[in-house]
Amino acid sequence: SSLPSQPCWSEYLTTRIEQNMVVNCTCPISECRAQPTTAFICSIVSSEEIIAKYEKALLRRYVECCSNLTWCTNPQGCDQILLKDGLGYGASCSKCSWISCFNCNFPEAHYPASCSHMSHMTCAKCNHGFCWRCLKPWRPTHKDYYNCSAMVSKAAWQEKRFQDYNERCTFHHHAREFAMSLRNRVSSISEMPKIRTLTFVLDACKVLEQARKVLAYSCVYSYYNQDTESMDIVEQQTESLELHTNAL
């Protein structure tokens, strides 16, 4: 059979690129397993937009293949590539300042809570799994984790204990969002007579964001480690941090 013509190649490659299937594509002739090179694709495809999509696909594949690289997990959107430091705690993104966790799928660094703490919560009465932060179920078939028939004193105590820690965790997350909103509002002020005052407020908001984040995940840590010997010290440190944060 004859080799595919240039228009055929162009249409074939364009379709594969648009379908995000170009990285492993082979020659369209069934018995040929050769893969087109980057130089060949760029010489065949004339659209700059399609070539840009191809280059993005190559970059995604490269990051996925490198165990020491990952994408920034900022939920607001960020295309920065991060280098894992191997310590379990992500470095601040140089583009958006978001701190990602390198060890789990949780969208941000969650010190002092461990990765296993962040995976999910479990109802003490029916073993229903749900997200600690948003309370959405891990199993979509279970509509409401309070809809359980078994009522025992220990389970009721566990539920009350969870609600207390969850309320504290949620409060700190909301307070962190307030600090972020305040920093954005201050940053948008175009005319400020006292520049030093403005800088101080921005720095204070950044400290508040970080402190509230640590306090929120300290609630998760404390919930799982209530019976350990070191919890008295942790609770004292958390209480001290909360007092200073409230003062700020």
Average pLDDT rounded to a whole number, residues 226-247:
82
Cis peptide before 107 (omega within 30 of 0): no
Instruction: Return d(Cα 112, Cα 98) in angstroms, integer.
Output: 17
Average pLDDT rounded to a whole number, residues 229-233:
74
One domain, residues 149 and 178:
yes
One domain, residues 73 and 48:
no
Predicted local confidence at residue 71, as pLDDT? 83
One domain, residues 230 and 138:
yes
Instruction: Return d(Cα 103, Cα 105) in angstroms, integer.
Output: 7
| Residue pLDDT, tens place only, 24-73 | 888 888 788 888 888 888 888 888 898 898 888 888 888 888 877 888 88
In whole angstroms, how far apart are CA 177 and each of 138, 170, 208, 209, 213? 25, 11, 10, 8, 10
One domain, residues 160 and 203:
yes
Q: Is this prediction's pTM over 0.85?
A: no
Average pLDDT rounded to a whole number, residues 183-212:
80
Q: Are 136 and 121 in contact (CB under 8 A)?
A: no
One domain, residues 76 and 53:
no
Position 179 in a domain: yes
One domain, residues 141 and 56:
no
Residue that wins the pLDDT comparison between 150 and 9: 9
How much is the mean pLDDT over the chain?
77
Among candidate residues 31, 48, 65, the one where a domain is terminated: 65
One domain, residues 238 and 140:
yes
Position 114 in a domain: no
| Residue pLDDT, tens place only, 93-127 | 888 888 887 777 677 777 777 776 665 566 656 66
One domain, residues 77 and 44:
no
Backbone angles phi, psi at 100, to 5 degrees: -95, 155
Predicted local confidence at residue 111, as pLDDT? 75
Range list of H helices, the chain: 6-18, 38-44, 48-65, 115-119, 153-187, 195-224, 231-247
Residue that wins the pLDDT comparison between 126 and 223: 223
DSSP classification of residue 178:
H
Instruction: Return d(Cα 69, Cα 85) in angstroms, integer.
Output: 9
Instruction: Return d(Cα 19, Cα 225) in angstroms, integer.
Output: 47
DSSP classification of residue 155:
H
One domain, residues 137 and 232:
yes
- Residues above pLDDT 90, as percent of the chain: 10
Q: Which domain does 17 fall in, by range?
A: 6-65
pLDDT over 60 (residue 145): no
Average pLDDT rounded to a whole number, residues 215-219:
90
Confidence tier at 207 by pLDDT (50, 70, 90): very high
Predicted local confidence at residue 141, as pLDDT? 41
Position 115 in a domain: no
Find which of 6-10, 90-94, 102-106, 212-216 is predicted with most confidence, using mean pLDDT: 212-216
Average pLDDT rounded to a whole number, residues 190-199:
65
Count of domains forming the chain: 3
In whole angstroms, how far apart are CA 88 and each of 48, 79, 118, 119? 39, 21, 14, 15
Q: Which residues of 130-154 are buried (b: 16+ CB within 10 A; e: fewer)?
A: bebbeeebeeeebeebeebeeeeee
Predicted local confidence at residue 28, as pLDDT? 81
